[in-house]
Structure 1
Amino acid sequence: MFINRDQELIALENRYNSGEAEFVILYGRRRVGKTELLKRFCEEKKHIYVLADLSSEKDQLEIFSRAVYDATKESFLRTSPFSTWDAVFEYLGGLCKDERLIVVIDEFPYLVASNPALPSIIQRFWDEKWRNTKIFLILCGSYISVMERETLGYKSPLYGRRTGQILLEPMDFQDASLFFPRYSITEKIVAYSIVGGTPAYLEQFSDRISIWQNIRERILRKDQFLYDEVRFILMEELKEPKNYFSILRAIAFGKTRLNEIVQESGLQRGMVANYLDVLQNLRIVERRIPITEEKPHKSRKGIYKLKDNFFRFYFRFIYPYKGYIEAGNTDLLLNDIIRPSMRQFLGPIFEDVCHELLIRLNWEGRLPFRFDRIGFWWERNEEVDIVAYNQENRAFLFGECKWRNKPVGINILEDLKRKVEIIKKQIAVADEYYVLLSKSGFTASLKNVAHEGKLILIDIRKIG
């Protein structure tokens, strides 16, 4: 199933129509949809698509030769495949001298593993020959650290040669929800909180059955794709995975500050800090700081969050309880551990969904002012879910997101205003508005207050 990715397709189409030689780096985590995006882009265009693997250089050259034959039907390639990369690239240069040709090398890091000199060879051909042709070269890969080092890094021979790059991220809630047209908006949020925005994970869930049936049948069964997916990915990406697993489990259980992670994991502080850097580079973990901090990179208030919802679900409910599944106690795990914890689990993800909604409303001009920054605020035991503001006119929007089964009342607004007074001691506020987002609507008294102005109420059940 191919859904959305319109921005990326438009970016690729614009470069395809430029008439100039193009060299694009496309990278992102596994299962995020890179190959499907490239296949959709290449439809009805002259192209050569090569999927590299972990075989020897000789085998890789034969794979490349077959791909060139499939595109050109040159008979000599069936009996005399290319024996060197120079021969391959020389031939490609001739093919695209006067005609647009897309050349996709998927899983490029595997090719580099077979011959570490490949980036230098490609650099030579780009500088001396390809840049004056109509080639559209796309190097694609799933190992983010390797792709950045071998294609984007300052020390890479390919540094400065690319004409564009696309880091393909998991889908946001709005796009991910398109996988579940039969679900209600709240069911879509719950599904998104579990499988996140990775297309391959979204495809595992079916909106023809309940969320709980999906968890039982598509995650908690040992023969299912999602059951061990996270472990497989991390085993491929990381050395010393057991230490990373301890850190990710700690974060999933709410230990988000560095000291808390150190204590929970039992690892040395310096080691944890280094591991967190690696996880951030892999886009598995992100560091958040209060939006009011003037020097974010130096802030001591930073907390760590798992970026991927399914990774968070896995380390919260699967990894620590594999013994239940191995022993056949799936229903016990689902009913006694997962179900009672889902409201607390969902809260932070609902906040992210609300941020996404406000960004969309802001872009559409449907808020009292246009903000250019949005984030969170916390200090000691106080938190505000939404702080958005315009840096020029200092107009602020403060908000709370409530995922609970009863309507939000005036007490929530009053508590928010109390916390805003603390924020105003830290940062200049010229004008202020409030927004409350709720899963279960609002009390009549709060609706009356909203009619007086400067308060926006959003019932999440009524959004499109």
Structure 2
Amino acid sequence: MEKPANMFDRDSEWRSLTRFASHPGEGAALGVVYGRRRQGKTFLLDAACRALGGFYFSATEATEAESLSRLGAELSAFLGLPSPLSFTDWYQAVDALLSLGRQGPIPVVIDEFPYLVQATPALPSIVQRAYAPGREERTSSQTRLLLCGSALSFMSRLLSGSAPLRGRAGLEMVVHTLDYRLAGEFWRVPDPNLAVLLNSVVGGTPAYRNEFTLGDTPADREDFDGWVVRNVLERDSPLFREARHLLAEEPSLRDTGLYHSVLAAVAAGNTTRGGIASFIGRKASDLGHPLTVLEDSGLVLREADAFRAGRSTYSIAEPLVTFYHAVMRPEWSRLDRPGLAARVWEQSGKRFYGTVVGPRFEAICRDWCQFHADPESFGGIPSHVGRGIVNDAAQRRSHEVDVAVLGHADGERRPLLAIGEAKWGDVIGMGHLDRLRRIRSILEAHPALNASHTRLLLFSGVGFTEELAQLASEERDIVLVDTQRLYYGA
């Protein structure tokens, strides 16, 4: 089915959704759709219902009785009935939704499903009962029921382990944030350096472009500072409190003070459990639960060290949350007063470029290696791209590796296709190359990795010295990547 003309990207999601919703197979089917807020889930599901003549219901925070009353009224209007339907419980309501598919496949969407479960904790079990094998309400229906929500920790558990709905769903779709390249295209920013700066603030969340900024896009790099002030730091802007709302909307985050402190620690560059614990004044052993909750909520990413088994680092998944904790939260009392936003931003530049843009640029470089680079750049197809720490016993120090490209294991030692260094604000020269060569020589003795053909990747937002550029043109194992190549090349 043709995708709506006003829907940006989401080609894969649209194909999967419409395929499920219009599937001609006998019997009712169940699907689950979830993702962080502001990613366009509602727009996607509503468009599918409009295209296929389906029924869409968006739940709100309400009592069970009020939700059932609203559902009855909206379902009656959908069916063209003269008076509202009345449901005494969700058993009746779910069966009524299943009855919509007696004449053929039809999508039926319950959006913000977690709100309904808050008032009726047994609702997942009620849906399970409705889909029990052999029930006439299920076998005689072709309803394609889609449960949607933004509470990632809750929605991801609907189909896991011993959950009532495990094994019932024919679709489990996660609506992700836009990839950095798509985000640059969506914001219509042709300058790749400006695209990196913009992505470091708002990431790839579609709603931030139109609904939250009214389509205001920085005209050029000179306009970027003004754009940040008027759209993010001004206290009347919707983005001003958005990072706080993202935490408040996640029901599993109860001790919000602790979670804000953990996120502040990560935003400040403390990426290990020990570093986070030291920053917030807790024992490392006390952080297992809050880190797991943040990870399950989609706010924090845990990445295994590419070189040391059992060691992980943490990063914030949503750039706006990083920006809030690194730039806004330390200055909140001043930002909450009128007329000081521009002054705060002027004084926050060093912190922004060091703790926000730098790590975001590194993440973009890793994404380029994983999803956009020509495998010839590495001499092989990457299976995993990460980062890690390499111990240098001879020099009694540790080296951070921003990019580690691992190939598919074809023997006892996994091929290390490339290692890389990413510097947003530095002109990269021979010193950076020598450092990578030193790291590669250490990794040649790694018991689990084959570094005999490892290439050296150098990423820069500023450029490279002439000496390094000349050497890279002569030696195949040196690969230089600027922002133009990150956004438009392979």
* Equivalence for 1:230: 243
Q: Which residue of 2 aligns with 1:142?
A: 150
Partner residue in 2 for 1:305: 315
Write out aligned runs for 1:92-241 (5 A).
92-127=97-132, 128=135, 129-131=137-139, 133-149=141-157, 151-203=158-210, 204-205=212-213, 206-209=216-219, 210-237=223-250, 238-241=253-256
Residue 48 of structure 1: aligned partner: 55
Match of 1:287 in 2: 302
Please report how far the alpha carbon of residue 145 of structure 1 lies from its aligned counterpart in structure 2 after TM superposition. Answer: 2.1
Q: Distance in 1 between matches of 2:385 and 2:196?
A: 21
Structure 2 counterpart SS, 1:256: coil
Q: Give runs of aligned pairs for residues 261-272 of structure 1, distance below 5 A.
A: 261-272=276-287
RMSD: 2.2
Point out the more displaced range, 168-177 or 45-54: 168-177
Residue correspondence of structure 1 range 443-458 to structure 2 within 5 A:
443-452=465-474, 453-458=476-481
Note if contact 2:49-2:107 (Cα within 8 Å) is conserved in structure 1: yes
Aligned to 2:292: 277
Number of equivalences: 455
Q: Offset of 1:343 from its aligned partner?
A: 4.3
Matching residue of 2:462: 440
Cα contact 1:33–1:200 (8 A) shared by 2: yes
Contact 2:407 2:417 in 1 (8 A): yes
Supply the distance in 1 between the matched residues of 2:365 and 2:287 (Cα, whole angstroms): 31
Q: Secondary structure of 1:383's match?
A: strand
Q: Is the 8 A contact 1:16 1:136 kept in 2?
A: yes
Letter matched to residue 15 of structure 2: I
User: Aligned partners of 1:180, 1:323: CA distance in 2, in Å?
Assistant: 31
Q: SS state of the match for residue 226, structure 1?
A: helix
After superposition, the C-alpha distances for 1:3-47 in whole angstroms (9 at most, x for unaligned) are 212221121122234323431111122222211121233232121
TM-score (structure 2 length as normaliser): 0.87
Where 1:58 maps in the other structure, the secondary structure is helix
Letter in 2 for 1:103: V
Letter in 1 for 2:400: E
Which residue of 2 is the match for residue 385 of structure 1?
402
Deviation for aligned residue 1:157: 1.7
Retained in 1: the 8 A contact 2:34–2:175? yes
Question: Is the 8 Å Cα contact of residues 48 and 67 (structure 1) preserved in structure 2?
Answer: no
1:281 positional shift: 1.0
What does residue 460 of structure 1 align with?
483
Q: Counterpart of 1:373?
A: 384
1:247 aligns with 2:262: yes
Instruction: Confirm or deny that 1:322 pairs with 2:368.
Output: no
- What is the letter of the counterpart of residue 346 of structure 2? N
Deviation at 1:305, TM superposition (A): 1.3
Corresponding residue of 2:423? 402
2:301–2:316: 8 Å Cα contact kept in structure 1? yes
1:284 to partner: Cα distance: 0.8
Q: Is the 8 A contact 1:47 1:71 kept in 2?
A: no
Aligned-partner Cα distance in 2 for 1:158–1:131: 17
Is the CA contact 2:418–2:456 (under 8 Å) kept in the aligned structure 1? Answer: yes
Q: 1:94 to 1:283 in 2, by over 3 A?
A: closer
DSSP 3-state at the match of 1:369:
coil
The answer to whether structure 1 residue 74 and structure 2 residue 74 are counterparts is no
* Post-superposition offset of 1:79: 4.3
Paired amino acid for 1:241:
T
Deviation per CA, 1:118-170, whole angstroms, max 9, x where unpaired?
Answer: 22221111122325531111000112222234x22333221211112112222
Q: Matched residue of 2:389: which SS?
A: strand
Identical counterparts, % of pairs: 27
* Range with bigger deviation, 190-199 or 8-17: 8-17
**Distance change in 2, residues 1:79/1:65 (3 Å):** closer
Say whether the 8 Å CA contact 1:439–1:461 is kept in structure 2: no
Q: Distance in 1 between matches of 2:430 and 2:94?
A: 68
Residue type of the partner of 1:191? L
Segments of 5+ residues of structure 2 without an aligned counterpart are: 1-5, 392-397
SS at match of 1:96: helix
Given residue 405 of structure 2, which amino acid in structure 1 is its aligned partner? Answer: A
One-letter amino acid matched to 1:230: A
Say if 1:377 and 1:387, in contact at 8 Å, map to a contact too. yes
Deviations 1:364-405 (A, max 9, x none): 766532121211121353112221132245251222222125
Query: For 1:16, which of 1, 15, 21 is the aligned residue?
Result: 21
SS at match of 1:178: helix
Could you tell me how far apart the structure 1 residues matched to 2:452 and 2:45 are?
A: 48
Range with bigger deviation, 442-451 or 201-210: 201-210
1:420 corresponds, among 437, 440, 443, to: 440
Change (3 A) 1:274 1:340: closer
- One-letter amino acid of the counterpart of residue 130, structure 1: R
Find the aligned partners of 2:375 and 2:153 in 1 and give their Cα distance.
36
Distance 1:125 1:114 in 2: 19
**Structure 1 counterpart of 2:93, from 88, 92, 99:** 88
Q: 1:274 to 1:431 in 2, by over 3 A?
A: same
Give unmatched runs, 5+ long, in structure 1.
none
Distance 1:272 1:140 in 2: 30
Q: Is the 8 A contact 2:456 2:478 kept in 1?
A: yes
Specify the code of the residue in structure 1 equivalent to 2:387.
Answer: F
Task: State the Cα distance separating 1:200 from its structure 2 match.
Answer: 2.1
- Tell me the CA shift for residue 311 of structure 1: 0.5
The equivalences for 1:332-371 within 5 A come to 332-338=343-349, 341-362=352-373, 368-371=379-382
Is the CA contact 2:405–2:418 (under 8 Å) kept in the aligned structure 1? yes
* TM-score between both structures, scaled by the size of structure 1: 0.91
Counterpart position of 1:33: 40
The alignment partner of 2:404 has SS state of strand
1:450–1:366: structure 2 CA closer, same or farther, 3 Å change rule?
closer
1:446/1:303 CA distance change after superposition, 3 Å: same
Partner of 1:57: 64
Residue type of the partner of 1:34? K
